[in-house]
């Protein structure tokens, strides 16, 4: 929860019909983000702590804190696996 995450350099995005389309430049993989995914992605414009993401999502969506944490973490893990985000290891 205290980790700081940021976008990787390999993703380019575009808007298509209100959805965010993403392409991983090296792998040539494509992803679409739904509403929540797009919201999280826009928060990642600057490096941000995982805890801050959860805080902001809890405010915007009527969801229990613990559930928000769990789902956000799962989502971020998946984004990391797909090469969209990475953790910044602070010095």
Partner 1 sequence: MMHKTKIYRAYGLMIESEIELPELIEDQGIPDVTVRIGTVPELSEANTGKYQRIRATKDELLLTVEEVAQYYVENGKSIVVCPIEPIDESAIRLFLLGSAFGALLQQRGYYVLHGSAVESKGKAYVFSGQSGAGKSTLTATLAMKGYPLIADDVCAIDVRPGSPPTVLPGFPRIKLCKDAAELLEKDCSAALPVRAGFEKYNFPVGEIIQSQTYPIGGIFILRKNEKDGVRIDPITGLHRVRVLVRNTYRRQFIKIIRDEKKLLEQCAYISSQVSLYRLSRGVTGSSPGEIAFYLEKNGWLGSSI
Q: Which residues bind partner 1 (CB under 8 A)?
A: 12-17, 21, 23, 25, 30-32
Nearer to partner 1, 14 or 66 (CB): 14
**Cβ 70 to partner 1 shortest distance, Å:** 27
Rg over CA atoms, the chain: 13
Nearer to partner 1, 25 or 74 (CB): 25
**Cβ 66 to partner 1 shortest distance, Å:** 32
Give every CB contact of residue 85 below 8 A, 6+ residues apart in sequence. Answer: 5, 6, 7, 8, 44, 76, 79
Nearer to partner 1, 3 or 13 (CB): 13
Q: What is the DSSP string of 36-69?
A: HHHHHHHHTTS-EEHHHHHHHHHHHS---HHHHH
**Cβ 3 to partner 1 shortest distance, Å:** 27
């Amino acid at each position: 929860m205290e980790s700081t995450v940021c976008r990787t350099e390999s993703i380019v995005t575009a808007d298509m019909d209100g959805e965010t389309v993403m392409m991983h430049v090296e792998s040539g993989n494509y992803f679409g983000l739904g509403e929540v995914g797009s919201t999280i992605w826009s928060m990642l414009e600057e490096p941000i702590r995982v805890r801050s993401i959860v805080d902001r999502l809890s405010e915007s969506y009527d969801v229990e804190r613990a559930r928000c944490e769990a789902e956000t973490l799962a989502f971020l893990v998946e984004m990391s696996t797909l090469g969209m985000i990475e953790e910044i290891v602070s010095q």
